[in-house]
Structure formats: structure tokens, C-alpha cells
Structure 1
Amino acid sequence: MKSKLSFLLGFSCYSLATAQLCYAVESDNCLSFLPGRLNQDLMMAQKVAEKHQSTTYLLPATPATTQWGIFDKDQPPVLRIKSGDTVVIETDAASDNRVVPGVSINQVAKMNNAVPGRGPHTITGPIYIEGAEPGDVIRIHFNKIMPRPYASNNSLPGKGLLPEKFPEGQIRYFYLDTDKMQMQFAPGIIIPLHPFPGTIGVARAESGQFDSVPPGKFGGNMDLPPITQGTNLYLPVFVSGALLGTGDSHAGQGNGEVNLTAIETAFSELNVTIDVVKNKNLEWPLAETSTAWVTVGYDQDFNKAIAILESQTTNFIMQNRKVSYAQAQKLMYRNWNCPVAEVVDEVNGAYCLIPKDSNAAKPAPLPVKDNDKEYVTYAKNPQAMQAIKDATWEMITKISKLKNMQQIDVYSLLSLTMDCRIAPHYQGSDYEIHCMLPKNLWVKQK
């Protein structure tokens, strides 16, 4: 990638020898000082038994196997696999693995702004899946997800849901206890870890280099918490081989990701099995947990994103339950359980959890005031974006006063843990957003 190479050449640690031996990562998939492509035969793990037909591949995150901030269908694949194969993927932290403890918010901002049209995410891939053709679907099963032992969270100046409230920005670093699967945000505040890939997607049909920030029908930066270990993600295919890439690895995230970022880390192991699914009509990504199907809607206009979500959910119920449009819409509202995914990535998104059990209990009404388990804020507005802004700001001021915390620290905490959900929306009514913050984040210090 020329933009990546030109940026790297700005660093004194990048030598002329590297440029001579490995001039174009995009054409050779090579490593510094080692001319030639990677040998895919040496990326195979040993089979458990000879009778196993599928292969497990090892895909480390290296300069030869990662891209900085772009999806591009013309980027040569770093690995070719067959349907049913497993890939053990390693990912890097943001900005080519440069957002690491010791790096300041000003340095992060400088890196993010260095090349126009380039996102901050480090993407491992692309992976070519043989047999995947436009109109097909790939199913990604998440076998195992293991984060590295540290993470960051930042709110860049001018970014996030409330940039005017926090113009200075902030970055924080955290230790991740991967044995207990928890993180100390501050003394007396413990956050359970919930690792999932913030960005995972296929190549678009269009040629060109596309910024990794906005998500879309191809997946990408969906910030979708349900796609964790043990779940499936279905993505529509737009080019031969699908060209799957992943990065922006999260150890956890609130529903909304309001300050811009999540518990941003890297995965030492993202273990996935990938299958090609033929004859499956899929317009937008779809996820599957053990108990629910997950539909999504994304658009620059958050109102339109919710409308897309409602349409996708209704259509899915029609196909899945074999019912009429009117019946499907009735079932959607009866089982309405629709969190906000993110509202900070230029394209905003939400998702709905549709229970697999047709006899599942109806979800409880969303709260409008604090209760024994949660701090709650609530707002409504003709514009859904304004409603979530109002609910978020109210939560910041409430927690800041109750817990004697700096508002910018509360902003960070909410981005990692606050659960913002959309109330059922009927034509002509205001959008209602309910945000909940668990009280059990605060624990007694020993």
C-alpha cells in the first residue's frame, strides 16, 4: 500500500535496505530484509489426525500480513483457504501497532491525521476463501478469542459523540487480567472483559482504497458486541474469494461506544472457522448466538440506520418464521430488544436480538429511572442522534456527581460499559433512547 509505505518512510527506524528488498507490501506480502512472498505451506498447523480434511492455518500479524486503515479488493491475499478451514489469526493494535502504552493522545491524533482517507485500524488479511463468489455468503464461527494483556481507550479531539464537551481529548491504558477476564478501570471499578472483533469484513465490489472507519453491508467497523466466542457471523460476498480482513480488536465495549473507542487491544488468538454458504440471500451482515439471531442497520443518518434495522428485522422474521409482513412486524415489536452498536464512526449503527425460541418471554420494558442494578438515563427527540447525546450527557453529569469523578473519565467509562438501547419506534413518534450503567462495576476495595 503506497500510503502505508510513504508514511513508514517518515520514521527514521525504516531503512533504505527495507525499501529495496520489500518495496511494496501490497505486491509481495514480504517481510523486511526477506525478499519474496511468505510460504503458505509453512503457515499450516499440524493436523490432529490424518483423517481430518480441513486445514488449520497460522496467520501472524506482521508487516507482510497487515494493512493500515484500508479495505481494497485489489490488495493481494495473504492467505488462501478452502471452505471449512480454520485460521488462527493474530491482530495488532491500532495505527500499525503504534497505539501502545507510552504513546500520548497528541501522538495518536498525529498518526490518525497523517494520511487522509486512512483509518486507524490495523487489519490482518485479506484472506481468500476458495469457492466464495459474489452472491454467496461466508459464515465465520468464532472458536476462541484471546486478547493480549493490555489495552487503551481514547477520545480524540474533535471526535466521539460529544466532541464539544471534551475538546482536549484523552488516552488511558489498562492491564487486562486474562485469567480473571476483567480489567481495573480505576481503584474500585472493575470491568468484565467481553472480547470481540470491532472490525471484520470482506472487500467491497468497487475498486479503490476505502477508509476502514465507516461500516457497511460488507461488515467492517461494525463494533458489534454479540460476535464473541462461540457465535457465528454471516457476511455477504461481493468479490471472488470474499477477501476477509479483521482488526480493531476489542476486549469489551459499551453499546454506543460513545467516546470514540472501546477497550482497544490486539488478539494473540482469534481462532475462526470459515465456510462458504451457497444460495443464501443476504443483504446485510447477520450474526447468530446460541439463543438469538442478530440483525443490523447502519447509515450516516441514525434515524435511517434504525429504519434499515427495522426493515432487516421484519424481513428476517418473515423468512425465518414463514409469516406475513404484518405478522413479522408484530413479532418484531413484541420481542423488541435493540441496542445501539456505535454512533461515532461516520456511519452509525444499531442491532436487534431476535430470540430463536418462538415462546421466549417478552423483554422487560426499558427503565426510565435508577433501580437496584443500574443507573439510568432516558431521552427522546425527533432525531435519534440527539436523544443519545442527551442521555449520554445526563449520565456523565450524574455519575460525575455521585462518584466524584472527572467528567472526561466518566465519558471513558461509559464508552466501555454503558448499555444504550432504542425503544420500539412507531411512525410519527419521537425516538427514545434508554442508557443503563451497571452499579456492580463499583466494588469494595480490599
Structure 2
Amino acid sequence: MDRTLFGTDGVRGTANTFPMTVEMAMMLGAAVGRHFRNDDGGVHRVVIGKDTRLSGYMFENALTAGLTSTGMNVLLLGPVPTPAVGLLTPSMRANLGIMISASHNPAEDNGIKFFGPDGFKLSDSAEAEIEALVEAGVRPAEPENIGRARRIDDGRFRYQERVKSTVPYGLRLDGVKVVVDCANGAAYRTAPEILWELGADVVPVGVSPNGLNINAECGSTRPQRAAEAVVAHGADVGLCLDGDADRIVVIDENGEIADGDQIMALMAARWAEEDRLRDGTLVATVMSNLGLERFLQDRGLRLERTQVGDRYVVEAMRAGGWNLGGEQSGHIVMTDYATTGDGLMAGLQFLCEMVRTNCPASDLTQRFAPVPQLMKNVRYGLGGMPLEAARVLAAIAEAEASLIGRGRLLIRKSGTEPLIRVMAESEDEGLLAQVVDGIVAEVQAVA
């Protein structure tokens, strides 16, 4: 079945604009409630978390109305990281989990992510079935079967204890000064508290959310502020989360930024040494740098690539029985510990390696020399199909021919925004710029 509401990570868009309207949220709540509720007379629960966006209040209420109208009991967690919903859904014996967040997007956007009863994100087929229910309409529950809603005050603390449990017993972060940038998002209390409880000297950044400043010049997509704080405070390391704390980038003591590829390289090599990396395989997307693949090959390890989106990484991991994966953007998935990307858990793994090796962050963040990579985004009008234009297809074919044996090209539509992403890799940086700029120009001409 076709999907028009759902992108690569749930439903997302500008608040009060289709599809992110109150009406659609209520319809989605009713549809997903009907999809997961059976009529066995048992208890039917849904866990809802959110980040710090102003529009989260209205979507929380709209989803609650739709869900309770179909007989679902709603457990409201308030602001928590996305992985907390993945953890607490099975822990609280819920039928599904919902996270209200647009992740790294600006405050005016919002989104709705769905988790199944096992804590993993829904499959494409399940999302298509929910869309079909939205279109067909949903029969509400009988009056005596309408659901209830209640606040869960300790959800954040349950999650914090789970995150800390991934650190070896007895290991402390005493003497480690950490800048943690919470992007004015869902982890603004969680991250500093966890680091402090483990003994770190914490310098918090982006911990004053006001509903409108999430990801604003801070967080994993804007790490410059945190990098400046690392240098200014003489910190040992910086951890930058995004708005819902499911991704991370690391900053070394010199203010240099390491992306998810470098973090995955460090973890894969370490886990392989400990015989923890299942089948010697790391799962990453087509966006991960060719340098990461070469790094793994040199150590007898394998890179399994998927399409873009952390849930596709997780699907491949589950299908192959692998336990480590992620994205260049900073989603790091460790299925031994969590059901989805978890920036805090990944950050703690990095800090543990610093303590274990007694090495500075700069020795751990540059595990391989990246192949030069250039990516540019082109915005197009809603309803446009620029990748089907003949002149664009011709430019892509010409670029692919020029890169044979010299690099690779990836063109894709964003699953969360009306953007065409043009990415290429090559040691020949002149060719790299020529290829990307040429395709971008053709897409702009028809967008």
C-alpha cells in the first residue's frame, strides 16, 4: 500500500499545516488506536512522550482525544528523549508508543513517531495500514469503553536508570569535564543529571527550552556553540544531542567535531576486540563515508548498508541478527541496550572508552581519514517531481559515468522535508564539486 502521510521517520511537517494539524493528529490517534486495539476486553495502553516544542501540547491533546475515542488508555510521559518511549512501551506493557517530535528540525515543525509493543518503530506496511484507516475513517468505541488518560511522573527517571545501567558497574567519570549540549530539547534535564550522577564535571549548554528555541543554533546539527564552550571551559569532551536526543556528535578537547561515522568506527573496532560485534558486521546507511567502509575492511569487518533512516538500520539489524548500527548524522543503535538510536547511551559509551584507555577525546574521534564528501540540498515546491525531469536524469547519468572507479554518487529525496539531497564522494575534490554543483543546477532549474 502507498504511504503519503508517513516519511522516513513517522509523520512530520510544519505545525498547523498539513499533515501536522490538530485534526490529522486526532485522526491518526484514532486510526493507530483501532489498528492496535483488539476486542478481547483486556487493557489497552499507549505511551506518549514529547520534546519541548510549543506545538507539542496541542498534538499531545489531539492524539489523546483520538486514542481514547477508540478505547485506548493513554499514559503521558511529558518531555522525554525518543529512546525513552522505545524503552517504556514494552516496560509498561503498552500496545504502542508515540513520540511527538520533529527531531533535529526547527521549532515550527513537529512530528509523530510510532513504536510497536516491542518498542521498535513500525514497519512501512504497518504505517500504510494506519494511513488506510485514516482515509476510511474509524468507528469509535462504545461510550462505556472510552479510554482514560493519566500522567506518569517518573518516566524520565526510569529511563535515566536504564541509560546508567549501560555503564560498567563501578566505572566513574570523576575528573572528566564534559560539555553537554541538549539542544533546548527533550534531554535538557536528563543528560546533565546522568553525567553528574556518574561523577562528571558538567558544563550544560542548550538547557533552557522555551518552546521556540529547540535546535536553535545549538545541538547536533549546530555544534559550533558547544565546540566554543569546550575550548573556553578547558573541557575534555563535548556531547551534542539533537532535539529528541536520539542522535549525537562528539567534540574533542580542541573543539573538533566527530560525526556518527567516527563514533561507529570506534565502537565497532572495540566491540570486535571484545568479541561483542555480532558476525563482525556494522550496519549503516548509504550516506556513511567510504572511509568507514575501508576502516572496517582493514580489520576484517563488514559494513552492511541500508537506505537512509535509522528505522531501516534497525530493521536490517534485526533481520541479520546484528547488534551495532547507525547513521553518519549521529543515530547510534545498540540493540543490546535499546530499540532505537540513543544519543545519551552512545555518548556514555564514548566516555567509558576515554576512561578505559586514559586517552584524550582527540585520539578516539579520528579513527579513519574520511573520503572527501560533498552534499547539497535543493528545496522544491510541494508536488514537484524534479528527479523525473529529463535534463536532471541526463546530468545524473553523466556524473555517474565520471565517477566510475573514482568515487560514488547518491541522489535522494528527503523523507522529512521537501528537499533533494545530492551527495558525492571522491578523492578528486575538483571532480566532486563539479559533479554536485552540476546536478544541483539542473534540479534548481526544474524545481
TM-score by length of 2: 0.28
Higher RCO, 1 vs 2 (CA within 8 Å, ≥6 residues apart)? 1
Looking at secondary structure, tell me which structure has more helix per residue. Answer: 2
TM-score by length of 1: 0.28
